[in-house]
């Protein structure tokens, strides 16, 4: 019995494979098999491949692109679609556990479908060491399926380590106070070889670009260490931190939600604490 998996670069696809293997022997289609990215063309290709393989299920990572393609596939095949799952057990019906409300709620549901369509929430399933499955040959897409496609790619203005791949992230929130206040955040990040992140309040204020935002409507991250400076910890922000191994929170309010959920906390003025941490790092080098 075969399952079809939509693959893209990065850890989430490996995690998706781990869950997909419970349903059968995986075969893969790469998200970059059709360039530029065209979700309708990929949905058509997945539908054709699923029929040719008689796939028992179709999986993808619950990324923006993975969910977009799978939603279109569900519409084409007239089948239900379970997005952002953290667990799934084969059967009739398939039992799934899904993240809801930005990760603050877990939903137990049953998926009644002859061919389950499932995306796996990033950084919620431990990836196994299994090999990447063989790829499926794709048919050339029809012009009508290329109507919606990526026309250009603009590199982010900020250089450095990407949020999605960073092992350490130093992130600032409203408590940083201003665009200029991020200088101490950037200094600490540079010393640690870390990426700079921020909360939605910061991007809304225009202090940092959206590409720096961590959270439900930003980037979902899985660093070894996440250092949150002046971030209260709204549900939407916490939804982006589910994969973080350790959280260090610096805040003047010891009752802030992020302080209550962090592994380590420092209570006080971040404008004094962050430079002190940077100075101590320099002293020890």
What's the Cα-to-Cα distance from 55 to each of 23, 81, 91, 96, 116, rounded to whole Å?
A: 10, 15, 15, 19, 10
CA dist 270 and 266 (Å) reads 9
CA dist 146 and 245 (Å) reads 40
**From-to residues of CATH 3.40.50.1220 in the chain:** 168-283
CA dist 250 and 231 (Å) reads 8
pLDDT number for residue 76: 94
What's the Cα-to-Cα distance from 56 to each of 2, 5, 43, 90, 269, rounded to whole Å?
A: 6, 11, 16, 10, 55
pLDDT in tens, 87-124: 999 999 999 999 887 777 899 999 999 999 999 998 88
CA dist 156 and 136 (Å) reads 33
Q: State the average pLDDT for the chain.
A: 91
Quick one: tokens of 237?
A: 């922000």
Q: Considering the entire predicted model, what is its pTM?
A: 0.75
Whether residue 176 contacts residue 202, with contact meaning beta carbons closer than 8 Å, is answered with yes
Pure H helices in the chain: 11-20, 39-53, 64-77, 183-192, 200-205, 235-238, 257-261, 270-283
CA dist 162 and 195 (Å) reads 6
Q: Does residue 160 register a pLDDT over 70? A: no
Domain 168-283 carries which CATH code?
3.40.50.1220
Quick one: tokens of 169?
A: 């992230």
pLDDT in tens, 208-257: 999 899 998 888 899 999 999 999 998 889 988 988 999 999 999 999 99
Domain 2-127 carries which CATH code?
3.40.50.620
Give the residues across from 81 on adjacent strands.
117
Query: What mean pLDDT do residues 36-65 have?
Result: 94
Q: Which of 8-12, 36-40, 77-81, 130-134 has the highest mean predicted lDDT (pLDDT)?
A: 77-81
pLDDT in tens, 165-211: 899 999 999 999 999 999 999 999 999 999 999 999 999 999 999 98
Comparison of pLDDT for 35 and 60, the residue scoring more: 60
What's the Cα-to-Cα distance from 135 to each of 27, 28, 48, 96, 191, rounded to whole Å?
A: 6, 5, 14, 26, 41
**From-to residues of CATH 3.40.50.620 in the chain:** 2-127
Greatest alpha-carbon pair distance for the chain in Å reads: 63
């Amino acid at each position: 019995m075969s399952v079809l998996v939509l693959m893209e670069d990065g850890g989430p696809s490996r995690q998706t494979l781990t869950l997909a293997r419970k349903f059968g022997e995986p075969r893969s289609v790469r998200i970059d098999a059709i360039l530029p990215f065209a979700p309708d063309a990929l949905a058509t290709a997945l539908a054709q491949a699923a029929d040719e393989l008689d796939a028992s299920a179709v999986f993808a990572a619950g990324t923006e692109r993975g969910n977009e393609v799978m939603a279109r596939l569900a519409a084409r095949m007239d089948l239900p679609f379970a997005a952002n799952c953290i667990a799934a057990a084969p059967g009739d019906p398939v039992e799934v556990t899904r993240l809801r409300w930005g990760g603050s709620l877990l939903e137990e549901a049953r998926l009644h479908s002859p061919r389950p369509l499932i995306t796996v929430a990033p950084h919620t399933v431990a990836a196994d060491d299994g090999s990447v499955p063989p790829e499926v040959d794709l048919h050339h897409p029809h012009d009508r399926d290329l109507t919606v496609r990526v026309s250009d790619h603009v590199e982010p203005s900020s250089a450095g380590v990407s949020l999605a791949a960073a092992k350490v992230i130093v992130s600032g929130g409203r408590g940083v106070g201003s665009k200029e206040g991020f200088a101490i955040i950037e200094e600490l990040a540079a010393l640690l070889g870390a990426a700079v992140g921020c909360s939605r309040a910061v991007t809304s204020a225009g202090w940092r670009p959206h590409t720096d935002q961590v959270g439900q409507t930003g980037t979902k991250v899985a660093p070894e260490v996440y250092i949150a400076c002046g971030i209260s910890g709204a549900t939407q922000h916490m939804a982006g931190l589910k994969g973080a191994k350790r959280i260090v929170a610096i805040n003047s309010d010891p009752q802030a939600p992020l302080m209550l959920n962090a592994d380590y906390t420092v209570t006080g003025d971040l404008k004094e604490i962050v430079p002190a941490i940077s100075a101590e790092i320099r002293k020890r080098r």
